[in-house]
Chains A and B, each alone.
Chain A
Amino acid sequence: MGLCFSSFAQTSPIDTPASIDYPGLLETFEKLIQVDTARLKKKTELLTKTGKNLSDAKTVTNIDLEPDFLNSLILHSDPGYLRVAGQGKCRMADVIITDLLRTADGRVKNVIITYVNKDNVRETSVLSKRDFLTKVVSVECPESMKMIDEMSLKNLDATIKKVNFELPTGEEQCHSIHIGWLNDPRTPYLCQIHEYISEANSNAGDPNDLAQRKALARVLSGKMSATNREYLANICSHLDEEKLFCQDFLYVSFWNKVANGQASRIYAEEICKKALKTTTLSEPQLRECLARMKKESDICLYPAKKAGLVPQMECDLLSAALNYSSFRSDYSDDPATSDQLGVTNMGRIVLNINKTPVRPFEGPPSVISAAETFNFNDGFDNTEKWQIEACYDNMVTNLEVCQQTVIGKYLGLRQSYTNVVEDILKRTRGAEQNISCGMTSELEYNPLLLKYKSGCHIVYNPETCQISNCPHKIIYNDRAITHIRIKSNMSMDYFPLNIPSERTSQHYLLANDFRRGARSMGNLSAIITFFKKNRKGVIHGVGCAEELLPSFFKVRAMNQCSPVPFIIDGMIKNEDKTVLVTRTALDSLQAPRLISWSNVFSSVKSYQLLHPMRLWTMYGMD
């Protein structure tokens, strides 16, 4: 037994009535539709009167859609849903039972099928949609029955939760996502929801039951976020037009995505605070600003908080870069407070991989990168080179005692400076066991306030406090503590600098111990291939800032190179031109730059010539 309507080939061409002439192409199509309408009507009437009744699909073979019925579906249905139907016999059944296809009579009420009976004679039968479902689909496509159950109202929440409304960040990725939706058995059922809601909201269909349909549409709408509903509308409307589907994500302003909730507001917050001269940003203010960002490209240059290299790119270029980027940027790590750009880059990579939430912190935002990088190295017993230590003199032994530390407070990190200071105060000043130190900005600290009269406060300058150097004072119970000092001689091998210590380099840990792989990116073809294979792949490297960002950093002497780590997580190809979506460790996470391959290559090449091992320092990670 087999149901063979996966092919749309017309097995029996429509006979042209003699009375029809063909004066033009358009009219021919109109005539074709007229013929189809007439034939289908006639055939349905005839079969309803005289046709056989299919009692059990198990007793017949070669079940097929009747050619005239199939022709009618092809002529009257949305090409996108036809494309889904073309994915297989069960997809065809799915799109029929989900009311996505149309015949000359509109929505499919009856299905005309042909089959070979037990006497080996081909017969034609008309089935109501319900009979088609129970007698044919349940036998031929058990998966569809399962899907119907999953899409029932009681199971819909759980089913929708499993759907991946993945936002593409590149053409290749978008292509794969589109194919994925075409092949997904849930697509017809999800599109049915979309069509149902659209029809009810536009007051279309039978006015008698409009009120009920509207009520159900509201229930269905509530099952999905507005963003996912828009996503669904996009895919259901563009199942046969991949370009249009992708256009919504890749070529529409990124600021639209922020406005409709597809992208986080963090990307626009600091820009809008500056543009609107405000310190807080309400939802209407954000919308007003996002509208301005599409027209006034300048307002993105200088955000309120200069957390990274400024000026950032203009809004349209920034939007293009963000459209093609999927790197984790839901927090701010403030590279302006980083004197260890390698740590900043590593922190970003680690958080992008492990996806864990950024823990509550106090002190400069660079503590996030520092703590995550320290934790990462701690996991591989590789913190020997983390030479930032809080030290004091032990009066009994007359020896200096030092403890490794990360400047700031990061929840759950034992080495947080606040924890280390607490520990030292317990040992040296007999502080209570429940002592709790906090990081307090100089701008907030007011010794006259009661809350600063007791307890432990580490007062730092937010402008100058960095990862390995943070001028500060410790106030314990209203008295300055002067016997604790920070010793900093941190040096971290980002890429290996020699063979013996290769295993301690960050790149080695990532590539081998952390199993992220390491593919050398020595030419543009390698990068293009890498992003084709790894939709969410990340390339990291180190290059000379003077070549990477020549308008920011000027060469003043021969072989001058200021190494700066960077991350590339996307590329934009426009005819023969390619730019890479790059976040140098100087850039704010929310403001990547479009940098040409030529600049990236030159910067890595120049650094290679100064590297002790002449190492090429740009690799792709899975």
Chain B
Amino acid sequence: MGWISLLFLAAVSLAETKVKGPEKLLTKHAVDAIRYIDGDGRVAYIRKRPGVLGIVSSFRSEEFVTDAPQSDFLVIGSSYKRKVIVEVIKNQHTVFNVMRSNKLMMFNWGETKGKDIGFGMATRLHMADEWITYYQPEKRSIIVKNLITEKDFTVKLNPKANPFFIPDVTMVSSDLIVYTDINDQGLASVISYQMRTGKTEVVYKSSQTGTRMELCQQDNYLAIGEFPYEGVNRGSKILQMPVMSSFNLGGFTTLYESTEQDIGNIICLDDSIYFIKTMNQSPELGLKTTDAVKLVLKNSQIIQRTNMGNVSQLINMDGRVLLPSRGSFYVLEGEYNLSSETLKNPTSREEKL
């Protein structure tokens, strides 16, 4: 595959030296019970008690999934708010298995009647919630499923790769998915798969072992992050690729490149990409000081957003960028105070409910 390397590397400098700490997420619910909360805090999916998932909005509170008390739930939504996927994790505390397939249930946004759609993990909604992808670790397969027609496709990953590898998947058109894979030599790659023809093509391949690829997508671009695994001395890179048309992935530009071993966990927004950057490193022990930074797309400027030193994860939840840390959630982008007692006007969809 021919690709164009438009290397307009901006000098990576930290724009702010004094960093104001992010605000804690404030809600009317206990944060450890929340499984999903939308951008304005009107609708929240809450683990109401062991084995019971409920939905809470301005006007109602309803339990809608009941399972064994040992079960827990993950709720996956998107900013389109048309569907939510619930992953039911059975025996969360008695069966420790990081590569398990969970029961997947689909619900229309805000509704309580849903249906089972399969078993898997690492679920994602795509294309205005019309498509879903999930991973079945026991088969090393990515399942791509249309939620309307229920037609599905299976993409097999490299069979001899890391047994604990979980792919990242995104969908750039209703016929084309892009996913990450790793070969038995440890070389990571980004691959496109055209569902109509079953044709796969390598979009980007790492030139070195010991790194992993990450994907995130916003309306008009796809970002690829290449970051090293812990304990591996490699640099980090973020590439941006415009999504030109349904079948064509354009050439990419390098937005960010560093010799530091960043954690990554990239999150794409309209005008920026959030990721976790290594600010300091002690190479002899592999110790890192990590913080969340914002990469501004228009000028590749890096803005440090936290000063905690031990940031490891970021979550994009309906456009709100959350930073989970030791039982608390900090808000890097979006409204943080959702504890207001003021009753918000119902949306037209809530009225229907």
Chain A: residues with CB nearer than 8 A to chain B?
A: 297-298, 301-302, 306, 309-314, 317-318, 320, 336, 338-342, 385, 463-464, 490-494, 497, 542, 545-547, 549-560, 562-565, 572, 574, 577, 579, 585-586, 593-596, 598-599, 601-602, 605-606, 608-612
List residues of chain B with CB within 8 A of the CB of A555.
265, 313-315, 324
Tell me, in angstroms, the Cα distance from A491 to B90 when the chains sit together.
Answer: 10
Tell me, in angstroms, the Cα distance from A502 to B10 when the chains sit together.
Answer: 58
Q: Are A557's CB and B93's CB within 8 A?
A: no
**Distance between A384 CB and nearest chain B CB, rounded to angstroms:** 13
Tell me, in angstroms, the Cα distance from A407 to B233 when the chains sit together.
Answer: 39
- Nearest chain B residue, comparing its CB with the CB of A495: B93
23 intermolecular pairs with C-beta atoms under 8 Å apart: A298-B210, A306-B162, A310-B186, A314-B231, A317-B231, A341-B97, A341-B98, A491-B94, A545-B98, A550-B313, A551-B227, A551-B230, A554-B214, A554-B313, A556-B76, A557-B74, A557-B75, A558-B329, A564-B98, A574-B284, A599-B310, A601-B326, A612-B50
Q: Are B287's CB and A313's CB within 8 A?
A: no
List residues of chain B with CB within 8 A of the CB of A339.
95, 97, 99-100
Interface size on B, residues (CB 8 A): 72
B224 touches A (CB below 8 Å): no
Given contacts A311-B210, A552-B164, contact A606 B93 (CB under 8 A): no
**Distance between B103 CB and nearest chain A CB, rounded to angstroms:** 15
Given contacts A301-B210, A574-B285, contact A609 B231 (CB under 8 A): no
List residues of chain B with CB within 8 A of the CB of A601.
326
List residues of chain B with CB within 8 A of the CB of A310.
162, 164, 186
4 additional contacts (CB under 8 A) given A554-B168, A554-B214, A610-B92? A549-B230, A555-B265, A564-B98, A577-B285
Given contacts A556-B122, A559-B34, contact A313 B96 (CB under 8 A): no
Tell me, in angstroms, the Cα distance from A404 to B341 when the chains sit together.
Answer: 56
List residues of chain A with CB within 8 A of the CB of B72.
610
Contact partner, A602, options B50, B166, B282, B325, Cβ 8 Å = B325
Tell me, in angstroms, the Cα distance from A601 to B310 when the chains sit together.
Answer: 11
Contact partner, A340, options B95, B264, B327, Cβ 8 Å = B95
Chain B: residues with CB nearer than 8 A to chain A?
A: 31-37, 47, 50, 70, 72, 74-76, 87, 91-100, 122-124, 138, 159-160, 162-164, 166, 168, 185-186, 209-210, 212, 214, 227-233, 263-265, 276, 282, 284-288, 309-310, 312-315, 317, 322, 324-327, 329
Closest 3 CB pairs of A and B: A313-B231, A491-B94, A550-B312
Q: Are B93's CB and A563's CB within 8 A?
A: yes
List residues of chain B with CB within 8 A of the CB of A593.
230-231
Tell me, in angstroms, the Cα distance from A200 to B5 when the chains sit together.
Answer: 68
**Distance between A367 CB and nearest chain B CB, rounded to angstroms:** 17
Given contacts A551-B212, A574-B285, contact A309 B162 (CB under 8 A): yes
Q: Are B96's CB and A574's CB within 8 A?
A: no
Most A C-beta atoms less than 10 A away, residue of B31, B93, B185: B93
**Distance between A543 CB and nearest chain B CB, rounded to angstroms:** 11
Q: Are A553's CB and B98's CB within 8 A?
A: yes
Q: Are A612's CB and B93's CB within 8 A?
A: yes
Q: Are B287's CB and A579's CB within 8 A?
A: yes
**Distance between A345 CB and nearest chain B CB, rounded to angstroms:** 8
Most B C-beta atoms less than 10 A away, residue of A338, A385, A556: A556
- Nearest chain B residue, comparing its CB with the CB of A611: B93
- Nearest chain A residue, comparing its CB with the CB of B231: A313
Q: Are A558's CB and B36's CB within 8 A?
A: yes
Tell me, in angstroms, the Cα distance from A514 to B333 when the chains sit together.
Answer: 50
**Distance between B170 CB and nearest chain A CB, rounded to angstroms:** 13
Given contacts A310-B186, A311-B186, A491-B70, contact A563 B92 (CB under 8 A): yes
Q: Are B233's CB and A314's CB within 8 A?
A: yes
List residues of chain A with CB within 8 A of the CB of B91.
491
Tell me, in angstroms, the Cα distance from A309 to B227 when the chains sit together.
Answer: 17
Tell me, in angstroms, the Cα distance from A317 to B191 when the chains sit together.
Answer: 32
Given contacts A306-B163, A552-B229, A562-B98, contact A317 B32 (CB under 8 A): no
Most B C-beta atoms less than 10 A away, residue of A336, A550, A558: A558
Most A C-beta atoms less than 10 A away, residue of B75, B228, B310, B313: B313
Contact partner, A552, options B87, B230, B310, Cβ 8 Å = B230
- Nearest chain A residue, comparing its CB with the CB of B93: A497
List residues of chain A with CB within 8 A of the CB of B124.
556
Tell me, in angstroms, the Cα distance from A305 to B33 when the chains sit together.
Answer: 41
List residues of chain B with CB within 8 A of the CB of A311.
162, 186, 209-210, 229, 231-232
Contact partner, A563, options B37, B96, B123, B325, Cβ 8 Å = B96
List residues of chain B with CB within 8 A of the CB of A556.
74, 76, 122-124, 315
Given contacts A336-B163, A594-B231, A605-B326, contact A579 B97 (CB under 8 A): no
- Nearest chain A residue, comparing its CB with the CB of B77: A557
Tell me, in angstroms, the Cα distance from A560 to B74 when the chains sit together.
Answer: 7
Tell me, in angstroms, the Cα distance from A339 to B309 when the chains sit together.
Answer: 34
